[in-house]
Structure 1
Amino acid sequence: MNQFKTRTEKYNYIRTQQKEKRIKAAKRTVPLLGTAMILSPGVLAMNTVKANAAETSQTQNQSAFIEQLGASAMQVSSSNDLYASIMVAQALVETGFGSSQLSSAPYYNLFGVKEYNGGPSVTMSTQEYLDGQWVTMNEPFAVYSSYSESFQAHANLLTGSYYAGARKSHTNSYQDAAVYLTGRYATDPSYASKLISLIQSYNLTRFDTPGAGTAVQSTEQSQQAETTQSTQQAVQTASSSQASGQSYTVQSGDSIWGIAEKFGISVDQLLADNGWSSDSTIMPGDTIVI
């Protein structure tokens, strides 16, 4: 045991011991920090790889879903004077690229068809716009055994006299059919541009089969249509952004009600700001005014 003649001597000794302990502790910390710095780039790289893998997987799933829809739509459309490309595009809009539970097995309901006549059904909650507000309700939705059966039920609807203008024999192109369905099948004023954009982006015309009244567009006409559409969309987006100062890009799984809640605004305000009606639809990638 150390002997100290004065309190000052004892105090200085304690201070020296404490200082030495701090130095030793610092030396032990440096290698650990160095290791952390060496590992950090690896961790970041691993996270990047995981993110890229997730994105690739999502793209592959979407592609597989589109191919599956296309095969079923071709079988149904060829015997019903309809465009398979239009039917597939409608299914993508309705299901959010297959993200809805109703569109998945074992329900296979691609178009949100309800069942009130005693057929196979499943009860699910849904958002209905009633009396100026969104209300959550439990409704019976039709259950199908396959996508082909769901497409056939949809074809039965489209071949009625009310939708006659969407058939191949009454149109020159799928664009004509998309325009005709706007205001009839869906009141969303941008419904036609959404369908046409999907058809062009994913080359859905490869599912169309030759039929009466089908005209083959030239490459020049097709490019001109795409350019016109892109210009119109750019103008609409710019106008919306200038009017509100804020825009939002719709993500997979979004709903009009959910977006309104996310930004703390009423559904009525969101509908009015975007010129929508209660029947309007949104899809991933849309730019909307908040």
Structure 2
Amino acid sequence: MKRLAIVISVIGFILGLCETGKAMSKTDFLMQVESGAQQNWAHYGILPSVTGAQAILESGWGTSQLATNAHNLFGIKGANIDGATVRMPTREVVNGYSLSVWANFRAYPSFIESIADHGQFLSVNSRYHNVLGERDAWLAAQKLQSDGYATDPAYADELMQIIRANNLTRWDQGKSDIDQHPTAAAPNSAEMSDSANQPQQQDTLRRYVIQPGDSWWRISRASGISMGQISQVSQTPIRWWIYPGQWLWLPQMKDYTVQPGDTLHRIEKALQLPIDSLAKVNHRARQSHLTVGTKLELPAAV
């Protein structure tokens, strides 16, 4: 049944969504890609100009079969989180020869999911960690190539040609043709330690590191702070995806409400508390069972 659903999903992509890239002008395509690229900068520290250039190069301005049939801009292979996939031919450079091979690629409902998945793909693969937070487009492109992102030996040069031809570095400088885009530095960027890039009145805020299984709703329930307020102080729209390892800013709170799956260690890790601090403050054993809904007192200072 699951396999049938996946097949139907792919057919839907091919029959109902394939006109997206063909009907889109380059200006419209850039505006759509920039929005996602700025989100990836805010979440992962991946330079927007490089994301844009990769999307253009690898999707042919959103007109490739992979982009029009499956909204896959970056050629990420395998199955998406919901199992959606599409099988297509691709070219690979092997031992200096260009060969045509068949492969399975991820399928997405829209470009925004493809861009978000691209950011997560780079962030969770350790070999690309040297790209995260890199503010020089040429260095970021070179690092992607040297890390083995593409088999094309001219990949970095091609990215830079696209960046220069379309003046994509303006995205890296906060200059945009769209009305709304992030103006704050990336939460996970290399500049995070710079107080100029952190929320104002930082002494009244607490940093929350996102854990596996977290969601905006779960964090709001645990902290007792509305999702809107968390979004505002973190300068992160609620519509953006959040992933383990990122962080959000929370107004300082005195207690934490236990959620399903919580342990003292998990809470300490999320709120960056000293080891055993929760056990000590709440007069509990380190391995004690936590009842969902219980309020735990938090240390006054982190």
- Give TM-score scaled by structure 2 length: 0.44
**Higher helix share goes to which structure?**
1
Give 1 or 2 for the bigger CA radius of gyration.
1
